[in-house]
Amino acid sequence: MIGRPENPMLRAATGLEGGLVARGSTCGVVSGGILGIALNYEKEIDRVGADAEAKIMETARDYAKWFEKSFGGTRCEGRSGVNWYTSKGQMRYFFPGGGLARCISHIGHAADRLQSYRNAPLPLMKGGRAPSTGQYHCALPVLENVRRRTGVGDPLLEKMSFVLDGGVAYTGGVCGAVAGAVMAMNLIHGLDVRHMHYGKTIKTFITGHLNLLRATPRGMPEPFGIGKEIAERFVGKAGSIDCKVITGAVFDDGSSFRSYMESSARCAGLIEAASDAAVSAVNRWGKK
């Protein structure tokens, strides 16, 4: 979309598939596409700062609304009807007439939509404000914590992670804190699809999805087995991976989101819990 490879970010996005490690939340085509939108406007963030971030969030919400209207929702489970954590669900997805062909079609249409943003100007306000810090964000403080405690991090991913706020562009989907935790781990163990042979990519995909079904994952470390551990640990604290369920709130814009975050001890605690889960995974499974 931006005309240059950003391999660390691509690796980090591995776990977004299937609604975050196939848990059925925000479709990876939505969350990954929104990260691409942010990346497309990187220069505007550098030039204008938080004002550019606000306009990028508006564009990201436009894309999410288009996706919902076009395909009936932004949640993976709701669109596909598949539970990846059962063998029946996985077979249903891959068999003819299942969800695979539909997802491929949606990816194609979404790619066309994302291309329409590539050369579109970003209407900016007067600017002059600095880019935001992690104080009122979800994924960013997790990514910062993991980098500080383990040395694993990517400045560009941190810079773009604001679009995951409020359950991905304030849509109430997958929680940015747990998404940040999974993405931090995948900076190490995510799939380097630009340089992987097609056969290895398919083998790794199959191994990962079988690990969703296994009590004891095999072939570790691999991103789905580790991501499953992170997500399960987070759900043990939060009860869900969905922002709307966790917060009970609906965010209309950045102002309503910041107002909530300013007084939410629960979200502050979950950011720490997500950070701990990611750090534990990095320490347990090592650094490449």
pLDDT digits (tens, 9 = 90+) for 189-198: 998 878 778 7
pLDDT digits (tens, 9 = 90+) for 125-137: 555 555 555 568 9
In a domain, residue 136? The reply is yes
Q: What is the pTM of this model?
A: 0.91
More confident residue, 73 or 94: 73
In a domain, residue 93? The reply is yes
CA proximity to 31, closest of 180, 141, 163, 172: 163
Residue 48: its pLDDT value, please?
Answer: 86
In a domain, residue 254? The reply is yes
- pLDDT greater than 70 at residue 15: yes
In a domain, residue 1? The reply is no
pLDDT band at 102 (very low <50, low <70, confident <90, very high): confident
In a domain, residue 2? The reply is no
Q: Tokens for 99, please give them.
A: 């969800």
3-state secondary structure of 188: helix
In a domain, residue 158? The reply is yes
| Domain, as residue range, for 19 | 7-285
- pLDDT greater than 80 at residue 148: yes
Overall domain count for the chain: 1
Residue 82: its pLDDT value, please?
Answer: 85
Please, what's the b/e burial string for 180-218 (b: 16 or more CB within 10 A of its CB; e: otherwise)?
Answer: bbbbbbbbbbbbebeeeeeeeeeebbebbbbbbeeeebe
Decide if 20 contacts 179 (C-beta within 8 A). Answer: yes
Residue 108: its pLDDT value, please?
Answer: 94
Residue 85 CB: number of other CB atoms within 10 A?
15
